[in-house]
Structure 1
């Protein structure tokens, strides 16, 4: 598939996807969401890719869903409103179930649908001066990509309500302080920090990481007892264990 609204590259065992509508602050079009879904589906099947990194070109990660493009596409009969809703939720499912950890880089604006997209990822690295917000209430639009369920699980119910009810964005630095992102760093260090994190992940067993990602995700919404049962009952074969144990013996 040829991509128009995203760029897909590879570096070592890392797949890098760039949202590529910088003139529109990478506002999310139905085409961009379809392309992102296609790219992630292909990456999920590849054993040679160990980490996925998604970022935005230009001055922002994404200003949110492009309502103009969405309305024009619906009026022109190119797609239905339900299409982008389903495709977005498909992306959430792919990122949740793919074996590779997904890292998202956030800088500039990250609003509403883009914030929901951000919450799909395993790890989030933000610029300290990024503006992250949920503006659904500002426009009279209800979230359909999981904002009301994912956000309170990360920051707590009271803070999630405050962010949504006020529609007031917070900085990347504030987001780090409330547990919304893993790390907030100066903008000029954003990519360096994210790729250092990716390379740290590459040093470890990809199979074990995939299994632990599954266990974390499956147990997150369960009680402790239910989660412990999931962990005890989960069976998978880690075939690269011998290689890592051999390296451990060498480096002792």
Structure 2
């Protein structure tokens, strides 16, 4: 039996790979079931996992939801299952990098938007084609897309259904970075290493601050930061001492 989501761990990095390359990693209920199991494990393992990379095997990240699954009315383990998996992924304590090459359409874009950072290869192609199939988003597109690219651009993507290149994705703020395909793996690995070199305590605390204050007024957000935030972690003294010794 094939594994639809591969997990590889090395040096604090957990790499999750959508593994249906013969079907362009089209998303199925079983794929989400396996992804959910990995996310649950990673969520509990903050001591050994400091960053997560989500990517696709073969020619692309994912062509989107498997239309055969939709047509067959594939039963879900629980109501709104895929949305809950994506929300759990987005709220992992660790920073999540979505590494996108090739197609990233509709449901796949909703999945990629769970990343704290999105790295696009020049070959990447992004689109929201819900309207092509008489569908509406159920996995977070209407909320996460506009927060990333702004409301006017989100409307453009959702109403027109056009495809956007990796460079265009970077220009509109959908992708944080766009890199040449031949440097894609290297750049993703370097970014993960850069995050891992920072304090894992700080990364988790910063992510919590951003999530917990989303939608607050500036006044309330500042109060949350000042009064409900530790400010320093257990590795602070060691990091300062190492810096002073090196200097």
Aligned to 2:100: 106
Aligned to 2:88: 94
Q: State the TM-score, normalized to the length of structure 2.
A: 0.94
* Cα distance between partner residues in 1 of 2:165 and 2:138: 24
Residue correspondence of structure 1 range 171-182 to structure 2 within 5 A: 171-182=165-176
Aligned to 1:145: 139
1:194 is matched with which residue: 178, 188, 191? Answer: 188
Question: Is 2:38 aligned against 1:39?
Answer: yes
Unaligned residue ranges in structure 2 (runs of 5+): none
Q: How many residues align?
A: 245
What's the CA shift for 1:3? 6.8
Question: Is 2:104 aligned against 1:124?
Answer: no
Aligned to 1:239: 234
* Cα distance between partner residues in 2 of 1:72 and 1:11: 38
2:199 is matched with which residue: 190, 193, 205? Answer: 205
Report the 3-state secondary structure (helix = DSSP H, G, I; strand = E; otherwise coil) of the residue aligned with 1:104: strand
**8 Å contact kept, 1:96–1:217:** no
Aligned to 2:109: 115
* Cα distance between partner residues in 1 of 2:212 and 2:184: 30
Report the 3-state secondary structure (helix = DSSP H, G, I; strand = E; otherwise coil) of the residue aligned with 1:210: helix
* Cα distance between partner residues in 1 of 2:229 and 2:94: 18
What's the CA shift for 1:195? 0.9
Aligned to 2:27: 28
Report the 3-state secondary structure (helix = DSSP H, G, I; strand = E; otherwise coil) of the residue aligned with 1:220: coil
What's the CA shift for 1:157? 0.8
* Cα distance between partner residues in 2 of 1:102 and 1:51: 6
**8 Å contact kept, 1:40–1:94:** yes
Report the 3-state secondary structure (helix = DSSP H, G, I; strand = E; otherwise coil) of the residue aligned with 2:154: helix
What's the CA shift for 1:251? 2.4
What's the CA shift for 1:72? 3.1
Aligned to 1:12: 11
Unaligned residue ranges in structure 1 (runs of 5+): none
* Cα distance between partner residues in 2 of 1:94 and 1:115: 16
* Cα distance between partner residues in 1 of 2:245 and 2:227: 33
Q: Deviations 1:162-182 (Å, cap 9, x if unpaired)?
A: 011000010011000011011
What's the CA shift for 1:149? 1.0
Query: Mean Cα displacement is larger for which, 108-117 or 212-221?
Result: 212-221
**8 Å contact kept, 1:30–1:70:** no
Aligned to 2:54: 54
What's the CA shift for 1:73? 5.6
**8 Å contact kept, 1:129–1:173:** no
**8 Å contact kept, 1:106–1:127:** yes
Measured on the aligned residues, the alpha-carbon RMSD in Å equals 1.7
What's the CA shift for 1:6? 1.1
